[in-house]
Amino acid sequence: MVALIRKDTSDKQLDELIEWLGTMNLKVHVSKGVNQTVIGLVGDTSGIDIELLESLSIVEAVTRISEKYKSANRKFHPDDTVVEAGGVKIGGGNFAVFAGPCSVENEDQIEFVARSVKNAGASVLRGGAFKPRTSPYDFQGLKADGIELLEHAKKHTGLPIVTEIMNANHLSLFENVDIIQVGARNMQNFELLKELGRTGKPILLKRGLANTIDELLMSAEYIMAGGNEQIILCERGIRTFETATRNTLDVSAVPVLKEKTHLPVIIDPSHACGKARLVKPLALAATAVGADGLMIEVHNDPAKAMCDGPQSLTPEQFEDVMQSVTRIREAIL
């Protein structure tokens, strides 16, 4: 349920209303926008007398929210959420590109890629340390050592870092990580999501391979229910009958999510298509459709990459993509 508050309401009047609602075992979420203040009520609102609430002098209108996601709902929070991580803003008109290798492999590799993507205009360095691989015999990542190498690259370049968590028991290793990634395969690992809800860290939540947009929002809701509202959603391609690409990029997820939620939405064209030559056109489409950013895999030597080489761009190819992305941004502004 959301209540739209009249413009001339004082802070004291609003506090009294919130206190009264709080006595009914409801979580009250206040969203003070430039033009309007909205309060959202989460919990069992069946005991609330809508007519009574509407009759209060400071309340303009009351609406029940039928969707199961409440905190993530744009009706709750009409303005875009801006996530801030390591000095970088994402959302609300702030566009950010996350780039780096699929996996951190060694110091020279991550340092070189970090410098290259920074020079090309990326604002966040990505790199997998814990890798969710389909085969247990494939490279599983450098784990804690990988995070340490990312931290060094962060120190040397100033780029904030994003890396994937697979197990909540590893959380202490992520202390200096700026954005914690939840990969597609863990989008519905609800215990992990609950644990991340208790952290104050920005979370990059990737859509599951076979999950709907509403399921993605419910997963965001799990994190938000714990008190963490710093979430970036990521469309990374879904499973369809099509085999020409690794997954099928659901470009429509961006405008659909923008209607449903205030959270920033980025696109990962690399995992969506699985082929380096398709990354540029999809990155341009993602930019044009209104994504708040991109996540792109870049490797110093894609042919020798330990993971996802076929979809990784060279630093030169990434620079070319960045230049075209900038032109698309200018065209749509």
Within 196-215, the residues that bind ligand PEP by CB under 6 A are 206
Q: Is 280 in the site for ligand PEP (CB under 6 A)?
A: no
Q: Where are the beta strands (DSSP E) in the chain?
A: 2-5, 27-32, 37-42, 59-63, 83-85, 88-90, 96-100, 124-126, 161-164, 179-182, 203-206, 231-235, 265-267, 293-297
Among 308, 321, 322, 325, binds Mn ion (CB under 5 A): 308
| Options 7-15, 72-80, 151-159, 178-186: segment touching ligand PEP (CB under 6 A) | 178-186
Residue selected from 29, 77, 118, 236 as contacting ligand PEP according to rule CB under 6 A:
236
Contact yes or no for 271/311 (Cβ under 8 A):
yes
Question: Closest CB to ligand PEP among 22 and 132?
Answer: 132
Q: Cα–Cα distance between 201 and 176 in angstroms, integer? A: 10
Among ligand PEP, Mn ion, none, what binds residue 183 when CB lies within 5 to 8 Å by partner kind? Answer: ligand PEP
* Nearest residue (CB) to ligand PEP, 221 versus 268: 268
Minimum Å gap between C-beta 284 and ligand PEP is 20
Residue 150: count other Cβ atoms within 10 Å of its Cβ.
Answer: 27
Residue 153 contact among Mn ion, ligand PEP, none, beta carbon within 5 to 8 Å by kind: none
DSSP letter at 333 equals: -
Sketch the per residue contact string, 78 through 117, with ligand PEP: x for CB under 6 A, - otherwise: ------------------------x---------------
Decide if residue 128 touches ligand PEP (CB under 6 A): yes
| Residue 299 binds ligand PEP (CB under 6 A) | no
* Cα–Cα distance, 188 to 105 (Å, whole number): 28
Nearest of 173, 192, 194 to residue 183 by alpha carbon: 192
